[in-house]
Chain A
Amino acid sequence: MTQTPSMTDATIAANTAEPGASLWHDAWLRLRKNKLAVFGGGALIVITLFCLVGPWFSPYTYEQQDFAQYAKAPSAKHWFGTDKLGRDQMTRLMHGGRISLGVGICATLVSLTIGVLYGAMAGFFGGKTDAAMMRIVDILYALPFTVFVILLMVVFGQKIVLLFVAIGAVEWLTMARIVRGQVQSLRKQEFIEAALALGLSQRRIILRHMIPNVLGPVAVYTTLTIPAVMLLEAFLSFLGLGVQPPMSSWGTMIKDGAELMEEFPWLLMIPAAFFSLTLFSLNFLGDGLRDALDVRTSKD
């Protein structure tokens, strides 16, 4: 925090607050107390570690085929069974997790950064600026996504990074809309009018007052964005445009498993279970974050 030469009353008030009572520190303390959120966070860490570190311990690679092991149910040799090409499902799950979680997090971060800023600005400024900004969102929303993805793939080749870019480029739009809606209603609240009256810069108001107050719905929507991203990636693979085999992602494993669910149910159930567990954890964490960041729901 840089000291501005002209100290306004608000700045003085902020600087003389009790030690350690900043928004973030408070939130962290509250979050720690929320058992479910802690469980969620813990589970996420375990899963992430499982996916990141697991493959080093596996005797199989994710692409190793063995036709003698055609679609075997879980056994001592293959803890999670094998698929139609005789590949070990556990290793594939771990590799797939790396990609799914990676895509989920990266795309969500992209969508968060761009979406929140964009939406906040549109909601705050209102009027013609808002109209123009939202019309741009409409345009981008209406553009055929499949065309866009095919073009990207063709021009730049089929790289995973492109997947992050493509999906992030689409997800920020809804985030922006939600943030804009929240900001619009906040805008009319007294404390914002007060800040304006005090002459605080617009940038400061947006960053220090608006955004922290929209973090609630944003946190919730973020926990919805990550699974949406993972499923969007699965949809792209469904069309042949996403993660390319022999690489796998949870989305592709679930899609493949769905087609075989009657014959080889473990191919669907295990990836789906991991996917669900991750999502539940994310949600508990997200709810916990939401509760922690919302000053008013605190019990004191």
Chain B
Amino acid sequence: MKRLNFLLLLAALIVVSGCGKRETRVEVANREQILLYGNKAEPQDLDPHVVQGVGEHQIISTLLEGLVAEDPKTLDPVPGLAERWEISPDGKVYTFHIRANAKWSNGDPVTAEDFVKSYRRILTPSLGSLYSYMLHPMKNAKAFNEGKLTDAAQLGVRAIDARTLEITLECPTAYLLNSMASHYTWWAVHMPTVEKHGDPYRPGNKWTRPETYVGNGPFILTEWVPNSVIRVRRNTNYWDSANVRLNGVDFLPIESIDSEERSFRAGQLHRTEELPNAKIDAYRKDNPDLLRIDDYLGNYFYRINVTHPALKDKRVRHALSQALDRQAIVETVTRGGQKPAFAFTPPNTAGYTSRAQLKFDIEGAKKLLADAGYPEGKGLPPIEIHYNTSENHRAIAEAIQQMWKKNLGVDATLRNEEWKVYLDTQTATNYMVSRAGWIGDYPDANAFLETFLSYSGNNRTGWANPEFDRLLQEAGCVSDVKQRTELLQQAEALLLDEMPLLPIYFYTRVYLLNPAVKNWHANYQDHHPFKYVYLEAPAK
């Protein structure tokens, strides 16, 4: 009798353990059409007028939509909340017609007045919006935003009627529609809700909680546990809800990229934000269908302090650039499919590719250095490479240090600082050469070039060139596309000739994506509008 009991118990245990694996989260989510999205960092907030991060964009784009939306493949502007628009012949007045069926999640219709109020809000200085300068192409926006103008009625935006919005610009701005489509600063918030939960013109407004969030996008905010998960679910009041196939998205702010990769492998995520460098090769070899390497609209470069006595001579700067084997860096150091950068603006940015290109020419570099008075690097003080503490930046800096030594005889030292200290140092131009990166806010060469305007806070190199400023200012006001492109080309050529920066490579986004995710297209901005994405589990 005892023996039988024992055997039964054993059998039961075997059955239970061999019962088949538990279903992974991804498998459950595929069935329920919920996308599990690794989003790297906890968002600062979900108010589009207050934040400035990329992670925030992904979440906010589920909750809000702009007048203009992005085509998921090409990123071209397509109708969003506005079903059509007209542009005046001089390119300064845009008239948007809002859909009749566009509604907020609480049922209120989306009106032109919503946009008027929203633009006034983001431009109000006391709100402290760090990204409000995106709206500066609008008439009087810059003056209002800087506190020089206090009458909001003078802003170049008005509601002609409940569903017609007119925006007047300072100058014909070629990239306006791109900017409106890809950037949340141009999206409207539900002002009555904002007004109910705090001062709409000051930081700290509490309207973004799940219980109170009102949006007009394909999803609504249902749960927000800081550092754990943010859940959004179908918004039945969204005008295009019938065509939205996903039932929701779960954003998981996993900061450690190693942890994120493990979670992906454990079937907890459809998509990771990044992939640890060391694992790229392994995935390429063993699981290429999971690996995504998409070109990204960004440049990894070194700022050069042109006011430093050793770097004043432009020939020295060119020598340093020409002695850099960028191909070697992307192949052996970063290894993430990046492309070497011989210009500042990434190639094919909305059709624009820089004519001017730098080159890799060791002999030429040596000659330039000698001409500048430092034959074989003699007499040149060691170049200090400054960067913020990170394994990757260090590896690149060390590689460059070795290249300069081997190819030019120039010594270099490394100095790294913690992030905020590093920013301080860079802003105070207290460096010789400092690592930097720039991601384009919208697909246009201007997004990159304008950072080197002499009066731009993003310049930080001490380089000031009135001709460059003039070229960009002119390009900002010209409506003819060909003319504008020519001006931008000239500006970039000038920039690359004067060389206050050392472009190194163009970014790529390297991440993991579950094959069940469909309608996910690679593009320069890494924007994947969730209303088009859907999940289709592979057939067993």
Contact = CB atoms under 8 A, between A and B. Distances in A.
**In their complex, do chains A and B touch, with some C-beta pair under 8 Å?**
yes
A150 B279 CA distance: 31
A154 B421 contact: yes
Contact of B390 (A63, A70, A150, A240): A240
A72 B30 CA distance: 40
Contact of A260 (B278, B332, B402, B414): B278
B199 to A, nearest CB: 32
A244 B279 contact: no
Interface in A38-75: 63, 65, 67, 70-71
B86 to A, nearest CB: 53
Interface of B: 258, 276-279, 282, 328, 332-333, 389-391, 394-395, 398-399, 402, 414, 416, 418, 421
25 contacts: A63-B398, A65-B398, A65-B399, A65-B402, A70-B332, A71-B278, A84-B277, A85-B395, A85-B398, A150-B418, A153-B418, A154-B421, A240-B390, A240-B416, A240-B418, A241-B389, A244-B416, A245-B394, A245-B416, A246-B398, A256-B391, A259-B258, A259-B276, A262-B282, A263-B279
Interface string A239-281: 0110011100000000010011011100000000000000000
B398 A67 contact: no
Interface of A: 63, 65, 67, 70-71, 84-85, 150, 153-154, 240-241, 244-246, 256, 259-260, 262-264
B278 A263 contact: yes
Contacts of B277: 84
Given A67-B333, A240-B418, A264 B278 contact: yes
A67 B332 contact: yes
Given A65-B398, A67-B333, 5 more contacts: A65-B399, A65-B402, A84-B395, A240-B390, A259-B258
- Which has the most chain A C-beta neighbours within 10 Å: B258, B278, B394, B398? B278
Contacts of B394: 245-246
Contacts of A246: 394, 398, 414
Nearest to A154: B421
A280 to B, nearest CB: 28
> What does DSSP make chain B's interface, helix, strand, loop or mixed?
helix
Q: Which 10 A-B pairs have the closest CB atoms?
A: A240-B389, A67-B332, A260-B278, A245-B394, A263-B278, A259-B258, A154-B421, A263-B282, A240-B418, A85-B395
Contacts of B414: 246
Contacts of B416: 240, 244-245
A189 to B, nearest CB: 50
Contacts of B421: 150, 154
A176 B11 CA distance: 58
Contacts of B399: 65, 67
A63 B282 CA distance: 26
Contact of B418 (A84, A241, A260, A263): A241
A153 B418 CA distance: 9
Contacts of A150: 418, 421
A65 B418 CA distance: 24
Nearest to B332: A67
A31 to B, nearest CB: 44
- Which has the most chain B C-beta neighbours within 10 Å: A150, A240, A244, A246? A240
Contacts of A154: 421
A252 to B, nearest CB: 10
Contacts of A240: 389-390, 416, 418
Given A240-B390, A263-B279, A67 B328 contact: yes
- Which has the most chain B C-beta neighbours within 10 Å: A63, A67, A150? A67
A63 B414 CA distance: 13
Nearest to B390: A240
Contacts of A63: 398
Nearest to B420: A150
A58 to B, nearest CB: 19
Nearest to A237: B389
Contacts of B282: 262-263
Contacts of A263: 278-279, 282
A154 B398 CA distance: 23
- Which has the most chain A C-beta neighbours within 10 Å: B279, B394, B418? B418
A260 B280 CA distance: 12
Contacts of A262: 282
B332 A259 contact: no
A154 to B, nearest CB: 6
Nearest to A150: B418
A259 B257 CA distance: 10
Contacts of B276: 259
A116 to B, nearest CB: 34
B329 to A, nearest CB: 10
B481 to A, nearest CB: 44
A85 B334 CA distance: 11
B56 to A, nearest CB: 24
A70 B390 CA distance: 19
Contacts of A65: 398-399, 402
A84 B390 contact: no
A84 to B, nearest CB: 7
B397 to A, nearest CB: 9
Contacts of A70: 332
A153 B421 CA distance: 10
B404 to A, nearest CB: 14
Nearest to A246: B398
A65 B414 CA distance: 15
A11 to B, nearest CB: 57
A149 B399 CA distance: 29
A197 B185 CA distance: 81
B494 to A, nearest CB: 35
Contacts of A67: 328, 332-333, 399
A235 B260 CA distance: 20
A65 B390 CA distance: 18
Nearest to A63: B398
A178 B395 CA distance: 43
A194 to B, nearest CB: 56
